[in-house]
Amino acid sequence: MAAIREKSPAKRADAQRSIEAILDGAIRCLSRNPEASVSEIAKTAGVGRVTVYGHFPNRADLVEAALTRAIDDGHAGLEAVDLSGDPRDALARLVDSSWQLVNQSRSLLIAAQDVLPPGKIRELHAGPANRVERLIERGRDEGAFRTDLPTTWLVGVLHSIMHSAADEINAGRLTPDEAAGYITATVLAAFSPGALRP
């Protein structure tokens, strides 16, 4: 019986280039239209539908991979945000940078919400959420943020406000340029030690 031969390095490199092109195409298409078809994505990526399905068995897998890639790329950018100094100022800087990423990928997120369970989307956002959690913990320790509610709840509040801003933009009630300021003002008020207590 002939031994099973592994793919050569050149074939593996070709496959990786193909995957990268498909993910680039998926992010571009889904960021414009959350209902973009696999055919549209394949065309944008410069490959055939068979090639797409060879790497991603269904549209949900492709959307998940595209969202993962977008979050990973954004995570790298957010690592550069200065979170030192006054926790309130640091949170404002983080909100501004995070919002830019959310705004760029809000249609991609809509596509993901259509095919992925909420738990999976939360799991994919774990890296950015951990960064916010560390900043909130520092702010609580320094008296800048309230301590009567759990940190995880405050992280969820920020996450919800950002996605509500995206919904408001999609509904035409808010502009992308206004959103960061609205989000920051709302979050800082909600996180304030002087905020109304339950």
Number of neighbouring beta carbons within 10 Å of residue 7: 10
pTM, full prediction: 0.69
Determine which of 8-17, 77-86, 95-104, 134-143 has the lowest per-residue pLDDT on average.
8-17
Residue-wise pLDDT for 149-175, tens only, equals 999 999 989 988 988 888 888 888 999
Residue-wise pLDDT for 87-125, tens only, equals 999 999 998 888 877 777 778 888 888 888 877 877 777
Give the pLDDT of residue 110.
80
Please give the average per-residue pLDDT across 10-24, as a whole number: 85
Give the pLDDT of residue 170.
80
Give the pLDDT of residue 74.
77
Judged by phi (left if over 0) then psi (alpha if -120 to 50, else beta), residue 143 lies in: left
Could you tell me where the DSSP H helices lie in the chain? 9-32, 38-45, 49-55, 59-78, 87-104, 106-115, 118-124, 126-141, 151-170, 176-191
In this structure, what token pair is assigned to residue 172?
């035409």
Q: Flag whether pLDDT at 1 surpasses 50.
A: no
In this structure, what token pair is assigned to residue 56?
């991603």
14 or 193, which is more confident?
193
Question: Band of the pLDDT at 47, cuts 50, 70, 90?
Answer: very high
User: For residue 143, what is the DSSP state?
Assistant: T
Give the pLDDT of residue 4.
46
SS3 category, 194: coil
